[in-house]
Amino acid sequence: MQQAEVDMQTRDMKSKEDKSMENNKKGHVEKYVQIDSNRTKRRILLNVLAERLFSLSTLFALIVLGILLYRVGEQGIGWINLHFLTGRLSINPDKAGIYGAIIGTVGLMVIVIPVTLGLGVATAIYLEEYATKGKIQAFIKVNISNLASVPSVIFGLLGLTVFGRLLNLGSSILAGGLTLSLLVLPIVVVSSQEAIKAVPGFLKEASYGMGADKWTTIRKVVLPVALPGILTGAILAISRAIGETAPLVVLGIPTLILKVPTSLMDDFTALPIQIYYWTLDTVLTPEYANLAAATIIVLLVVLFLLNALAIFIRNKYQRSY
Amino acid sequence: MNAENENKLREIVYDVKGLNLWYGEDQALKDINMKIYQNEVTAIIGPSGCGKSTFIKTLNRMIENIPSVRTSGEILYHGENIFDKAVRVEELRTRVGMVFQKPNPFPKSIYENVVYGPKIHGIKDKRLLMEITENSLKSAALWDEVKDRLNDNAYGLSGGQQQRLCIARCLAVQPDVILMDEPTSALDPIATAKIEELIDRLKADYSISIVTHSMQQAGRISDKTAFFLMGELIEYSDTVTIFSNPLDKRTEDYITGRFG
């Protein structure tokens, strides 16, 4: 064993220099890894530098976020009160409220959540569990990933053409919700696929081994294990849908709606749209900037609450087994 | 074959006739002919890559989960060819249970693991399910260790306990045959001894086929031993005969540790 090791080293040495070969014969090996304290110092310094650089990068994002939150908070927090949350839109900034926009956003979610979860998870199950692995399946997968990177304006145009015009849904909540669903569907599909793929094969084998069919196995083994992952993806997707503005603008959501929507077929406004229009109109009425800031706070709070709820559900599921 | 004469009285569970199996272009099993008998432990030994795991996974058609697999020949299970179109794998696997190399309990409670099989086969009665749980866990020699924590997650158990839970889960479906694919290879010697003891007790009610890397294990627990080499069944006989007086030189070489 030892002899073999020495032989190996001898072979390595041969190419280096003859001198060390001579040493070998005498039974001790000259070390070719030398400790160079200058080099070591340099490397350690480089490490410290790298650490600083990376922490600064992290700090950069945090600082920008901090500035944003501070600016928005300072400008908007004073404008948030019960009237702002429950009041209708108004040309007079002091009287304006975002009740309609809140209802509009809730309405959008009523469409987006079931449509994306249903279609997204079903697609992911099909692609991962049922579709025969091959070129066609790979092609579909690549294109779903591609869809996820299509700009949202283009989805807006698609929604306008198909839902707005072709199906004659106009700029209703239904049209907006379906458009946003299309937009975030690829995200849900891809993340659900990842979650399903991550379910260990040996768990599925155990189920098949007891005479379970595929659907039973998916329902009772794959989906429960994949659920936290699926929910994480869904949270991301829904957050994105709530914050999206461009597709709704393209869909032609009216600037000012004084009527609060009562059905999914009604015209509507949503929180990000409201932020967008109020910001545009700041030129005319400076106070609108404060209203926009206040609405941003509300939107952020809604997003944080949604995330918290989803995380809560996820943890609860994880704990139950 | 020796085995055949001695076991005229024992019922044949599996009659494998001219079985060939390919992974894509590579042939993994070559013309296997072999009978497996009721209430016996049949050990399948051989070096890595000899096709022993492939063979056992063919007996419940688990191997077909690998996309490129092709087979020819017949496997008669109680006289019926399992490759027949009329045979549903779900029904075959209900009668032929399997225990895997790595303990693979579901990330659910101990109770939920055991009742998984009965539940998917339509049993809903809570009291019956509890009864099944108790009986299965007792048969798998795990009841005393877990009876107070049936609702705990199965992943809290030790590796050996998890494997016995997997055996209990398999027994809960009331199979006729249990296929075991190196069930102790991930376990320590004490846990292994417990599983071996268990196998010895279970053969009164079940027919067990076990793949093992350990010749000592085959010698300890099996009635018959089949020696596989490079996809071929080299020798199949009573375990005593195989270990004391093998007919084939290659069997002797393997058993005496000259290769493998």
Q: Is the distance from CB of A230 to CB of A121 less than 8 angstroms?
A: yes
Distance of CA A15 to the CA centre of its chain: 54
* Residue A16 is assigned to a structural domain of this protein: no
Buried b (16+ CB within 10 A) or exposed e, B91-113: ebbbbbbbbbbbbbbbbbbbbbb
Give the residue on A whose Cα is nearest the Cα of B98: A209
DSSP state of A287: T
Confidence of residue A263 (pLDDT cuts 50, 70, 90): confident
Mean pLDDT of B86-111: 94
Nearest CB to A211: which of B90, B100, B104?
Answer: B90
pLDDT of residue A34: 85
Pair (A158, A171) in one structural domain = yes
Mutate to test the interface with A, among B66, B91, B96, B106 (most CBs of A within 10 A): B106
What is the number of domains present in chain A?
Answer: 2
pLDDT of residue A256: 66
pLDDT of residue A78: 85
Q: Give the burial class of B159: count Cβ atoms within 10 A of its Cβ; 0-12 exposed, 13-18 middle, 19 or more buried.
A: middle
CATH architecture of B2-255: 3-Layer(aba) Sandwich (3.40)
Interchain contact, B93 vs A211, CB within 8 Å = yes
* Residue A9 is assigned to a structural domain of this protein: no
pLDDT of residue B1: 46
pLDDT of residue A15: 47
Residue where one domain finishes, among candidates A45, A79, A113:
A79
ipTM of the complex in this document: 0.90
CB contacts of A200 in chain B (<8 Å) are 104
Give the residue on A whose Cα is nearest the Cα of B122: A212
Ranges A33-47, A139-153, A220-234, A243-257: which has the least confidence: A243-257
Q: Is the pLDDT of residue A153 over 80?
A: yes
Interchain contact, B97 vs A210, CB within 8 Å = yes
pLDDT of residue B70: 94
pLDDT of residue A255: 67
Mean pLDDT of A29-54: 92
A265 versus A201: the higher-pLDDT residue is A201
pLDDT of residue A1: 44
Q: Is the distance from CB of A222 to CB of A196 less than 8 angstroms?
A: yes
Interchain contact, B93 vs A209, CB within 8 Å = yes
How do residues A271-290 score in pLDDT, each as one tens digit? 999 899 888 888 888 888 88
Mean pLDDT of B218-236: 94
Pair (A131, A74) in one structural domain = no
pLDDT of residue B8: 53
Ranges A72-86, A98-112, B217-231: which has the least confidence: A72-86
* Residue A118 is assigned to a structural domain of this protein: yes
Pair (A74, A86) in one structural domain = no
Beta bridge partners of B257: none
Q: Is some CB atom of chain A closer than 8 A to the CB atom of B98?
A: yes
Pair (A41, A177) in one structural domain = no
Place of tokens 């179109």: B85
CB contacts of A224 in chain B (<8 Å) are 107-108
The residues, any chain, with a CB within 8 Å of residue B101's CB and separated by 6 or more, are: B53, B181, B182, B183, B185, B186
* Residue A191 is assigned to a structural domain of this protein: yes
Q: Give the burial class of A2: count Cβ atoms within 10 A of its Cβ; 0-12 exposed, 13-18 middle, 19 or more buried.
A: exposed
Interchain contact, A210 vs B169, CB within 8 Å = yes
Pair (A49, A124) in one structural domain = no
pLDDT of residue A320: 45
Pair (A115, A204) in one structural domain = yes
pTM above 0.90, yes or no: no
Q: Is the pLDDT of residue A321 over 50?
A: no
* Residue A2 is assigned to a structural domain of this protein: no
d(C-alpha B145, C-alpha B139), whole Å: 13
d(C-alpha A110, C-alpha A108), whole Å: 5
Ranges A46-50, A167-171, A213-217: which has the least confidence: A167-171
Q: Is the pLDDT of residue A267 over 70?
A: yes
Pair (A61, A164) in one structural domain = no
Q: Is some CB atom of chain B closer than 8 A to the CB atom of A205?
A: yes
Residue where one domain finishes, among candidates A25, A52, A79:
A79
Confidence of residue B101 (pLDDT cuts 50, 70, 90): very high
By residue range, what is the domain housing residue A119? 82-319
Confidence of residue A14 (pLDDT cuts 50, 70, 90): very low
Pair (A295, A269) in one structural domain = yes
Ranges A259-268, B126-135, B200-209: which has the least confidence: A259-268
Share of chain A above pLDDT 70, in %: 88
pLDDT of residue A134: 83
* Residue A26 is assigned to a structural domain of this protein: no
Residue type, position A62, single letter = L
Pair (A58, A183) in one structural domain = no
pLDDT of residue A43: 94
Sheet arrangement for strand B69-77: B26-37, B12-23, B69-77, B80-81
Q: Where are the domains of chain B?
A: 2-255
Interchain contact, B173 vs A211, CB within 8 Å = yes
Pair (A157, A133) in one structural domain = yes
Pair (A142, A196) in one structural domain = yes
d(C-alpha B11, C-alpha B76), whole Å: 13
Interchain contact, A209 vs B97, CB within 8 Å = yes
d(C-alpha A57, C-alpha A162), whole Å: 43
Q: Compute φ and ψ for B211, nearest 5 degrees.
A: -90, 135
Interchain contact, B169 vs A206, CB within 8 Å = yes
Tokens standing for residue B13: 């569970």
Q: Compute φ and ψ for A163, nearest 5 degrees.
A: -80, -45
Phi-psi label, residue B34: left if phi above 0, alpha if psi -120 to 50, beta otherwise: beta
Residue A71 DSSP SS3: helix
Q: What is the mean pLDDT of chain B?
A: 92
Mean pLDDT of B116-143: 95
| A278-282, B108-112, B254-258: range with highest mean pLDDT | B108-112
Q: Is some CB atom of chain B closer than 8 A to the CB atom of A220?
A: yes
Q: Is the pLDDT of residue A179 over 70?
A: yes
* Residue A32 is assigned to a structural domain of this protein: no
Question: Distance, in angstroms, between A194 CA and closest chain B CA?
Answer: 19
Residue where one domain finishes, among candidates A12, A47, A79:
A79
How do residues B31-72 score in pLDDT, each as one tens digit? 999 999 999 999 999 998 899 999 999 999 999 988 899 999
* Residue A31 is assigned to a structural domain of this protein: no
pLDDT of residue A118: 95
A91: CATH: 1.10.3720.10
Confidence of residue A266 (pLDDT cuts 50, 70, 90): confident
CB contacts of A213 in chain B (<8 Å) are 90
Q: What's chain B look like in SS3? A: CHHHHHCCCCCEEEEEEEEEEEECCEEEEEEEEEEEECCCEEEEECCCCCCHHHHHHHHCCHHHHCCCEEEEEEEEECCEECCCCCCCHHHHHHHEEEECCCCCCCCCEHHHHHHHHHHHCCCCCHHHHHHHHHHHHHHCCCHHHHCCCCCCEHHHCCHHHHHHHHHHHHHCCCCCEEEEECCCCCCCHHHHHHHHHHHHHHCCCCEEEEECCCHHHHHHHCCEEEEEECCEEEEEEEHHHHHHCCCCHHHHHHHCCCCC
Return the number of other C-beta atoms located less than 10 Å from residue A42's C-beta. 11
Q: What is the mean pLDDT of chain A?
A: 85
Pair (A157, A253) in one structural domain = yes
